[in-house]
């Protein structure tokens, strides 16, 4: 995967389309490996966000939390469940 002019090598898998988010004056790029159920989140410099990958079965929806300094996202979990993650 390529972000700006930098390339990230991802393991072989079936990935969702990359989603780009612009929050708190930063750019984030998210992809999910649907075979291993792992969500990856990178910054605009191709650095992985700490504590990723996390569990998920779909693309994510990343938003600013009520505190404005934290981020949160939702992703599909098992069957009919939704998981809410908070990023500090």
- pLDDT for 55-83, tens place per residue? 999 999 999 987 777 899 999 999 899 99
- 36-70 in b/e form (b: 16+ CB < 10 A) is ebbbbbbeeeeeebeeebbebbbbbebeeeeeeee
Number of domains making up the chain: 1
At 67 the pLDDT is 74
Residue 63 lies in domain:
2-87
């Amino acid at each position: 995967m390529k972000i700006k002019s930098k390339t990230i090598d991802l393991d072989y898998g079936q990935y969702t389309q990359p989603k780009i988010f612009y929050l708190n004056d930063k750019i984030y790029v998210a992809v999910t490996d649907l075979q291993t159920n792992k969500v990856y989140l990178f910054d605009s410099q191709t650095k992985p966000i700490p504590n990723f990958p996390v569990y998920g079965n779909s693309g994510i929806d990343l938003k600013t939390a009520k505190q404005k300094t934290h981020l949160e996202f939702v992703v599909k979990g098992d069957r009919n469940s939704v998981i809410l993650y908070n990023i500090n």
